[in-house]
Amino acid sequence: MVHNDIQTLFAESLNELKLTEKQKAVLNASLKLFSEKGFDRTSTSDIAQLAGVSEGTVYKQFKTKEGILTAIIGPFIQQVMPKAATEFTNEVTHTSYPSFGEFLHAIIKDRMVFALNSMPQLRIILHEVITNQAIATGFSHLFENLIVGPLGQTLKHYQEEKQLVDWPLDRIIRYVATTVMGYVLPAALLHGSVDIEHASREATEFLLKGLKPA
Protein backbone atom coordinates (compact mmCIF):
# COMPACT_ATOMS: atom_id res chain seq x y z
CA MET A 1 0.00 0.00 0.00
CA VAL A 2 1.34 3.34 -1.09
CA HIS A 3 1.48 6.25 1.33
CA ASN A 4 -0.58 8.81 -0.47
CA ASP A 5 -3.00 9.73 2.27
CA ILE A 6 -1.83 13.20 2.99
CA GLN A 7 -4.29 13.78 5.78
CA THR A 8 -2.87 10.86 7.71
CA LEU A 9 0.65 12.11 7.17
CA PHE A 10 -0.35 15.62 8.16
CA ALA A 11 -1.95 14.33 11.34
CA GLU A 12 1.20 12.31 12.09
CA SER A 13 3.41 15.33 11.76
CA LEU A 14 1.10 17.19 14.11
CA ASN A 15 1.39 14.43 16.69
CA GLU A 16 5.15 14.55 16.45
CA LEU A 17 4.99 18.18 17.50
CA LYS A 18 2.76 17.21 20.44
CA LEU A 19 -0.08 19.60 19.78
CA THR A 20 -2.97 19.99 22.16
CA GLU A 21 -6.61 19.62 21.16
CA LYS A 22 -7.11 23.39 21.11
CA GLN A 23 -4.04 23.88 18.96
CA LYS A 24 -5.31 21.34 16.47
CA ALA A 25 -8.70 23.08 16.42
CA VAL A 26 -7.03 26.40 15.67
CA LEU A 27 -4.84 24.82 12.99
CA ASN A 28 -7.73 23.06 11.28
CA ALA A 29 -9.87 26.20 11.29
CA SER A 30 -6.97 28.21 9.88
CA LEU A 31 -6.30 25.61 7.20
CA LYS A 32 -9.90 25.82 6.03
CA LEU A 33 -10.12 29.61 6.08
CA PHE A 34 -6.67 30.30 4.60
CA SER A 35 -7.33 27.98 1.68
CA GLU A 36 -10.80 29.42 1.03
CA LYS A 37 -10.25 33.14 1.51
CA GLY A 38 -6.47 33.48 1.59
CA PHE A 39 -4.23 34.46 4.48
CA ASP A 40 -4.78 38.21 4.29
CA ARG A 41 -8.55 38.03 4.08
CA THR A 42 -8.80 35.79 7.12
CA SER A 43 -8.97 37.55 10.49
CA THR A 44 -7.85 36.04 13.77
CA SER A 45 -11.35 36.48 15.15
CA ASP A 46 -12.65 34.41 12.23
CA ILE A 47 -10.20 31.67 13.18
CA ALA A 48 -11.16 31.80 16.86
CA GLN A 49 -14.85 31.60 16.03
CA LEU A 50 -14.52 28.62 13.70
CA ALA A 51 -12.18 26.84 16.10
CA GLY A 52 -14.65 27.39 18.94
CA VAL A 53 -12.16 29.17 21.19
CA SER A 54 -11.54 32.74 22.22
CA GLU A 55 -9.15 35.02 20.42
CA GLY A 56 -6.95 35.06 23.50
CA THR A 57 -6.52 31.30 23.31
CA VAL A 58 -5.40 31.57 19.72
CA TYR A 59 -2.61 33.90 20.82
CA LYS A 60 -1.70 31.68 23.77
CA GLN A 61 -0.95 28.89 21.30
CA PHE A 62 0.64 30.92 18.54
CA LYS A 63 2.63 34.09 19.04
CA THR A 64 1.51 35.68 15.77
CA LYS A 65 -0.91 35.08 12.93
CA GLU A 66 2.10 34.41 10.71
CA GLY A 67 3.07 31.69 13.20
CA ILE A 68 -0.14 29.85 12.41
CA LEU A 69 0.70 29.95 8.72
CA THR A 70 4.18 28.50 9.16
CA ALA A 71 2.78 25.89 11.55
CA ILE A 72 0.57 24.70 8.69
CA ILE A 73 2.76 24.86 5.61
CA GLY A 74 6.14 24.47 7.32
CA PRO A 75 5.76 20.78 8.25
CA PHE A 76 3.92 20.19 4.98
CA ILE A 77 6.86 21.35 2.88
CA GLN A 78 9.72 20.18 5.08
CA GLN A 79 8.38 16.79 6.09
CA VAL A 80 5.22 15.60 4.44
CA MET A 81 5.99 16.30 0.81
CA PRO A 82 9.50 14.80 0.63
CA LYS A 83 8.44 12.02 3.01
CA ALA A 84 5.55 11.02 0.80
CA ALA A 85 7.81 11.22 -2.24
CA THR A 86 10.63 9.09 -0.88
CA GLU A 87 8.42 6.58 0.87
CA PHE A 88 6.67 6.11 -2.41
CA THR A 89 9.81 5.48 -4.42
CA ASN A 90 11.19 3.18 -1.73
CA GLU A 91 8.28 0.85 -2.17
CA VAL A 92 7.58 1.36 -5.83
CA THR A 93 10.82 0.93 -7.75
CA HIS A 94 12.04 -0.96 -10.77
CA THR A 95 12.04 -4.15 -8.68
CA SER A 96 8.27 -4.11 -8.38
CA TYR A 97 7.74 -2.52 -11.80
CA PRO A 98 10.00 -3.96 -14.48
CA SER A 99 8.11 -1.96 -17.11
CA PHE A 100 8.74 1.79 -17.07
CA GLY A 101 5.22 2.35 -18.35
CA GLU A 102 3.67 0.70 -15.32
CA PHE A 103 6.02 2.52 -12.98
CA LEU A 104 5.16 5.84 -14.60
CA HIS A 105 1.45 5.14 -14.34
CA ALA A 106 1.76 4.20 -10.68
CA ILE A 107 3.72 7.33 -9.77
CA ILE A 108 1.41 9.62 -11.75
CA LYS A 109 -1.67 8.16 -10.10
CA ASP A 110 -0.04 8.48 -6.69
CA ARG A 111 0.87 12.12 -7.23
CA MET A 112 -2.62 12.93 -8.48
CA VAL A 113 -4.21 11.37 -5.40
CA PHE A 114 -1.71 13.20 -3.22
CA ALA A 115 -2.46 16.55 -4.83
CA LEU A 116 -6.22 16.14 -4.74
CA ASN A 117 -6.15 15.00 -1.11
CA SER A 118 -4.08 17.99 -0.03
CA MET A 119 -5.83 20.69 -2.01
CA PRO A 120 -6.21 23.11 0.95
CA GLN A 121 -2.50 23.10 1.76
CA LEU A 122 -1.53 23.39 -1.89
CA ARG A 123 -3.88 26.33 -2.38
CA ILE A 124 -2.29 28.13 0.56
CA ILE A 125 1.20 27.43 -0.73
CA LEU A 126 0.24 28.53 -4.22
CA HIS A 127 -0.95 31.78 -2.68
CA GLU A 128 2.21 32.33 -0.65
CA VAL A 129 4.77 31.17 -3.16
CA ILE A 130 4.19 34.29 -5.22
CA THR A 131 5.09 36.77 -2.51
CA ASN A 132 7.29 34.62 -0.30
CA GLN A 133 10.69 34.06 -1.84
CA ALA A 134 11.76 31.60 0.88
CA ILE A 135 8.97 29.17 0.05
CA ALA A 136 9.77 29.36 -3.64
CA THR A 137 13.42 28.49 -3.12
CA GLY A 138 12.38 25.72 -0.71
CA PHE A 139 10.51 24.14 -3.57
CA SER A 140 13.46 24.24 -5.91
CA HIS A 141 15.60 22.49 -3.29
CA LEU A 142 12.90 19.85 -2.99
CA PHE A 143 13.14 19.11 -6.69
CA GLU A 144 16.93 18.89 -6.50
CA ASN A 145 16.61 16.31 -3.74
CA LEU A 146 14.20 14.29 -5.85
CA ILE A 147 16.88 13.94 -8.53
CA VAL A 148 19.64 12.67 -6.25
CA GLY A 149 17.18 10.57 -4.20
CA PRO A 150 15.62 7.17 -4.85
CA LEU A 151 13.45 8.54 -7.66
CA GLY A 152 16.53 9.65 -9.56
CA GLN A 153 18.16 6.23 -9.06
CA THR A 154 15.07 4.48 -10.36
CA LEU A 155 14.85 6.67 -13.43
CA LYS A 156 18.54 6.06 -14.16
CA HIS A 157 17.87 2.34 -14.07
CA TYR A 158 15.17 2.64 -16.71
CA GLN A 159 17.52 4.76 -18.82
CA GLU A 160 20.19 2.05 -18.68
CA GLU A 161 17.59 -0.51 -19.71
CA LYS A 162 16.75 1.68 -22.71
CA GLN A 163 13.16 2.09 -21.57
CA LEU A 164 13.56 5.82 -20.96
CA VAL A 165 15.07 8.53 -23.14
CA ASP A 166 18.60 9.58 -22.27
CA TRP A 167 17.82 13.14 -21.16
CA PRO A 168 18.96 14.87 -17.94
CA LEU A 169 16.76 13.79 -15.04
CA ASP A 170 15.60 17.30 -14.17
CA ARG A 171 14.23 17.63 -17.67
CA ILE A 172 12.31 14.36 -17.40
CA ILE A 173 10.93 15.19 -13.96
CA ARG A 174 9.88 18.62 -15.24
CA TYR A 175 7.74 17.09 -17.97
CA VAL A 176 6.15 14.53 -15.66
CA ALA A 177 5.43 17.13 -13.00
CA THR A 178 3.92 19.69 -15.37
CA THR A 179 1.78 17.09 -17.14
CA VAL A 180 0.30 16.00 -13.83
CA MET A 181 -0.22 19.65 -12.90
CA GLY A 182 -2.08 20.14 -16.15
CA TYR A 183 -4.78 17.78 -14.93
CA VAL A 184 -4.81 18.77 -11.26
CA LEU A 185 -4.54 22.57 -11.35
CA PRO A 186 -7.66 23.36 -13.44
CA ALA A 187 -9.76 21.10 -11.24
CA ALA A 188 -8.35 22.74 -8.14
CA LEU A 189 -8.97 26.29 -9.31
CA LEU A 190 -12.41 25.62 -10.74
CA HIS A 191 -13.32 23.42 -7.78
CA GLY A 192 -14.02 20.64 -10.22
CA SER A 193 -13.36 16.94 -9.89
CA VAL A 194 -10.92 14.67 -11.68
CA ASP A 195 -11.43 11.14 -12.94
CA ILE A 196 -8.08 9.97 -11.65
CA GLU A 197 -8.26 6.62 -13.40
CA HIS A 198 -8.87 8.23 -16.78
CA ALA A 199 -6.57 11.20 -16.28
CA SER A 200 -3.62 9.10 -15.12
CA ARG A 201 -3.97 6.75 -18.08
CA GLU A 202 -4.10 9.67 -20.54
CA ALA A 203 -1.12 11.39 -18.96
CA THR A 204 0.89 8.16 -18.95
CA GLU A 205 0.13 7.51 -22.62
CA PHE A 206 1.38 10.96 -23.60
CA LEU A 207 4.47 10.90 -21.41
CA LEU A 208 5.45 7.40 -22.52
CA LYS A 209 5.49 8.59 -26.13
CA GLY A 210 7.37 11.78 -25.31
CA LEU A 211 9.94 10.03 -23.13
CA LYS A 212 10.56 7.00 -25.36
CA PRO A 213 14.25 6.42 -26.17
CA ALA A 214 15.37 7.49 -29.63
Partner DNA sequence: TTTTAATGAGTAAGTCCTCACTCATTAGTA
Partner DNA sequence: TACTAATGAGTGAGGACTTACTCATTAAAA
Q: Which of 21, 31, 29, 70 is nearest to 48 (CA)?
A: 29
Smallest distance from the beta carbon of 93 to DNA, in angstroms? 45
* Per CB under 8 A, 198 contacts a copy of itself: no
Within 10 Å of residue 43's Cβ, how many Cβ atoms? 13
Under 8 Å CB-to-CB from 195, ≥6 apart: which residues? none
Q: Residues 166, 175: contact at Cβ < 8 Å?
A: no
Range 65-124, binding DNA (CB under 7 A): 65-66
Q: Is residue 130 part of the contact set for a copy of itself (CB under 8 A)?
A: yes
How far is Cα 90 from Cα 97, in angstroms, rounded to an integer?
12
User: What phi and psi values does residue 130 have, to the nearest 5 degrees?
Assistant: -75, -40
Pick the binder of a copy of itself from 22, 83, 123, 157 (CB under 8 A). Answer: 123
- Only segment of 34-42, 56-64, 76-84, 112-120 that touches a copy of itself (CB under 8 A): 34-42
The count of residues interacting with a copy of itself (CB under 8 A) is 36
Specify the residue, 53 or 199, whose C-beta has the smaller distance to DNA. Answer: 53
Using CB under 7 A, which of 30, 42, 118, 121 touches DNA?
42
Task: Show the binding pattern over residues 14-33: x = contacts DNA (CB under 7 A), - = does not.
Answer: ------xxx-----------
Q: Is 131 in the site for a copy of itself (CB under 8 A)?
A: yes
Q: Which does 186 bind (CB under 5 to 8 A by kind): a copy of itself, DNA, none?
A: a copy of itself
Q: For residues 39 and 123, is the Cβ–Cβ distance under 8 A?
A: no
Q: Are 180 and 108 in contact (CB under 8 A)?
A: yes
